[in-house]
Structure 1
Amino acid sequence: MSNNEEDVKKGLFEIGALNTAFQKYFTGKSYHNSLVKENDVNVTVSNVSFEPGSRNHWHIHHNGYQILLVTGGEGWYQEAGKPAQKLHPGDVIVTRDGVKHWHGATKDSWFSHIAITAGTPEWLEAVSDEEYNSLN
């Protein structure tokens, strides 16, 4: 079984550099390629890729939203109080203003998505290994 590494690394958009700027908000390694980040545009658009087992911390977007367009691999998305959703290329997630959530790769697969984000993020606690390892 493939872990989708080549699919993610050679995807439609470049994988980008190791995501050191936001590493403190992630468990594991992720990569970031900013596609749109302009002062006169009220959203940012980024290609974010995750190594197997990597995920971001719980977070909330205030005065905005986040749209995820899954482009490669397999991943997870979860809103607080709801079951996690397994994600595959072609899936679209809309996170509304103020909703606590996280997203990242499955244990065995690389994962990438385009993130269209507006508003200000509030970074919260890490997704515990216990929570994450319970996902199937």
Structure 2
Amino acid sequence: MEIKRRGTVPTRRVPASYFTGTVWQDPIIEAPEPARLRAVVVMFEPGARTAWHTHPLGQTLYVTAGTGRFQTFGEPIQTIGAGDVIWIPPGEKHWHGAGPETIMTHIAMQEAKDGVAVDWLEHVSEAEYAKA
């Protein structure tokens, strides 16, 4: 058993190579093998978002605060808000982030396959983001 006490794992700003805008992460867990669970709290400032990406074993998002956007490739942008739960199947190309004037915070949960929990792709352009 391991207990990580509040405040012992620092909040980190995520790299611009995978996100547009200012995004913060608080790690929840990266379980050691043979477990595969990885989870983080992610806070997106207004207009911030992920790049397009996929997950080899899927992903679940639980929106805890604010209003944001979610899009699966080739489908319309969806507005998401506190209390929404989004299941993204394995291999589905998607992005998620804050609205243009609002923050959005979610818990992102995914499992790793052979140590990989996410495959990052190209950035979401301003034109793609503005289509909402």
The normalised TM-score by structure 2 is 0.85
Aligned to 1:128: 125
Aligned to 2:81: 88
Aligned to 1:76: 69
Q: What CA distance in whole angstroms lies between the structure 1 residues aligned with 2:67 and 2:92? A: 22
Aligned to 1:51: 45
Q: Which one has the bigger helix percentage?
A: 1
Task: Give the counterpart letter for 2:131 in structure 1.
Answer: S
Q: Deviations over 1:43-86 (max 9, x none)?
A: 11110010000000000112x11000000000111101111110
The normalised TM-score by structure 1 is 0.82
Does residue 101 (structure 1) correspond to residue 94 (structure 2)? The answer is yes
Q: Check whether the contact 1:59–1:124 (CA below 8 A) recurs between aligned residues.
A: yes
Give, in angstroms, the shift of residue 131 of structure 1. Answer: 1.1
Residue in structure 2 matching 1:61, options 49, 55, 66: 55
Q: How many residues align?
A: 120
**Percentage of matched positions with identical amino acids:** 37
Q: 5+ unaligned residues in a row in structure 1: which ranges?
A: 1-12
Q: Check whether the contact 2:77–2:131 (CA below 8 A) recurs between aligned residues.
A: no
Give, in angstroms, the shift of residue 118 of structure 1. Answer: 1.3
Q: 5+ unaligned residues in a row in structure 2: which ranges?
A: 1-5
Give, in angstroms, the shift of residue 24 of structure 1. Answer: 1.1
Deviating above 3 A after TM superposition, structure 1's stretches of 4 or more consecutive aligned residues are none
Q: Check whether the contact 1:18–1:29 (CA below 8 A) recurs between aligned residues.
A: no
Greater Rg by CA? 2
Alignment root-mean-square deviation, CA: 1.6
